Amino acid sequence: MAKIRIGILGFGTVGGGVYKTLRNFDNVEIKKILVRDITKPRNISPEDKSLLTDKPDEIITNPEIDVVVELMGGIEPAGNYIKTAIEHGKHIVTANKELLAKQGKDLFEFAEKYNKVILYEAAIAGGIPVIMPVKTILAGNKITKIQAILNGTTNYILTKMDKDGADYSAVLKEAQEMGYAEADPTSDVEGFDAAYKITTLATIAFGKRVHIENVYREGISKIKLDDIKAANDLGHKIKLIALATIDEQGRADVRVHPMLVPENLTLAHIDYVTNAVEISGHPIGKIVLSGPGAGEFPTASSVVGDILAIAAEFGKTDYILPMMRCNHSQEAIPVDIKDTVNKYYLSFTAPNTQGIIGKLGTLCAEHNISLQSIMQKGVKDDNTANIVVITELCREEDIRNVIAEFKECTLNSLIRVAI
């Protein structure tokens, strides 16, 4: 069997996992691996040290390389390297969720112009196979809803807050010490990472292009331990959920934010760094794919799977993997968050005086909001009390109007409830 020859851009955690995994396959040959510092000690066999290079052109313009595996992350120089590699006749495998979310349309059209394929299973949910199943096995379904936990760092933090009763800052520090969170955790804890992933996944699942600038994003940094406890009392768990729905008119509601997830739902029990993707459609109904969403070997599993998919067809046809190519000629119509309909968990700090709860109920009624429950929890030394409200389904714009008018109280938390 002829070997497919690859070059790897980036030799971090995932790159190392790909290198180790590919040693088990005789039909793939690593020709070169791009690193920033060629003198840095690395976990690589002595006989393979000659594979390392700090010169990108030894990979992206090298005529002896068939597939470029981009594991650098970020927009540049990764985007430019990919385009140059395509121009020089290489297929692409990437794990770069940010690049796909921001420049995916341009990259896929560019690849099609040169009759090259871009595969990106590792960019969405680490080791969980999602993209290929959606494009192949689930291709006969009309997918209308995705609810997913796509970020292991935030899921770890929320799980530890729940199980250990620790506050956000303490758990974040622990996650950084254990390597689950970066020194600058913004991309994870503020929802950027999950937003990049759901943008691409929704585009693939709905067959209509979703743009990252239309994805509402809210992270977990404002979640308090009191919210975790209140959610438990209400029979829910708080999770950072990536949600995407589409209606018959092609209107796509795509967003990332914390949700109260009822304990009878599978996603409520996806804990620590595990990820999960729940897909709803017809005729399949509802399925949940779950597993490790990051890490050396889980992500390498998806990268190597993409490499082998190309290897299986390489040299056998002039147009490989047609089902895996981009075919999104239509744009999804974005839905603004203020026009969405949700249930809400609201926590207020209120003065312990008569009529406060009554006024809140009146304001909600004036804005067409029905309350599922309302409770006051204790009185503090400063004569204030905590009021917790769960609403029935209502418009986001209406709930914001109530909050703006309920000036006697301080809003502590607003979290949407999964439905």
Residue in 334, 322, 104, 328 with CA at minimum distance from that of residue 207: 328
Gap between the Cα atoms of 207 and 16, Å rounded: 34
Residue in 53, 57, 59, 65 with CA at minimum distance from that of residue 3: 65
Could you list the active site residues?
A: 197
Paired tokens of 164: 């250990």
Residue in 386, 412, 411, 388 with CA at minimum distance from that of residue 401: 411
Helix (H) or strand (E) holding 275: strand 274-282
Paired tokens of 128: 């969980």
| 207 within 8 A of 237, measured Cβ to Cβ | no
How far from 21 is each of 38, 115, 179, 224, 303, CA to CA, in Å? 22, 28, 22, 41, 10
| 180 within 8 A of 153, measured Cβ to Cβ | yes
Gap between the Cα atoms of 313 and 6, Å rounded: 15
